[in-house]
Amino acid sequence: MINALRKNYGRTLWIARLLLAIAILFSNLFSINTFFGLMAMMGVVVGNTVAGYIIYVALTLIITEFLSRMIIKFSFNMLRIFTIPYSEFVVLFLLTLCASNLLAGVIKLVYFMTPVAAVFGETLISFVTNAIAFFCLFLVTKKLYLNDKNAPYIFKWFAILFLGFSAIVAFFL
């Protein structure tokens, strides 16, 4: 499957972006509806329209991809990682974020039924789903690009990247 993704990078990147947009919408649907409700109470008519959802998802996707590319490029240059192709890793990272958001959306459906967990559930769910997704990203990266000699070094880098990403997510939630 990965070889099919490598053949046409542009198409693969657009598919990853589309899947990430759907995953972001699914994961944040309750937050988006709450935001629209609060805006309506203040008199700003954004409403639960398709345009409002598209604007929210587009802005979130643009910010997410920009920050992801910037962090990955900085990390690759700072840690002198040359064994992993940057463009392929960006696509894998976006697909990892997609899987993380889909898993978080499914778990959020469960705690929607139990509102007591909603207070601390958002941060805990994002941390757990990101941990699972980043570990799977490391396993795929190890299988495709790494050998036994440089895998521990890259794993340390993934752990640092994961903790930084989780701190950013926890700060903005």
pLDDT tens per residue across span 137-165 = 888 888 888 888 888 888 888 888 778 77
Q: What is the pLDDT of residue 149?
A: 84
- For residue 67, the enclosing domain spans 2-172
C-alpha distances out from residue 120 to 6, 9, 30, 110, 170, Å: 40, 39, 15, 14, 11
Q: Give the chain as a 3 state SS string.
A: CHHHHHHCHHHHHHHHHHHHHHHHHHHCHHHHHHHHHHHHHCCCCCCCCHHHHHHHHHHHHHHHHHHHHHHHHHHHHHHCCCCCCHHHHHHHHHHHHHHHHHHHHHHHHHHHHCHHHHHHHHHHHHHHHHHHHHHHHHHHHHHHHCCCCCHHHHHHHHHHHHHHHHHHHHHHC
Mean of pLDDT values over 37-48: 73
Mean of pLDDT values over 101-129: 75
C-alpha distances out from residue 21 to 29, 76, 84, 173, Å: 12, 26, 25, 18
Mean of pLDDT values over 105-128: 73
Report residue 47's pLDDT band, with 50, 70 and 90 as the boundaries: low
pLDDT tens per residue across span 14-39 = 888 899 899 988 888 877 887 787 77
Structurally, the chain folds into a number of domains equal to 1
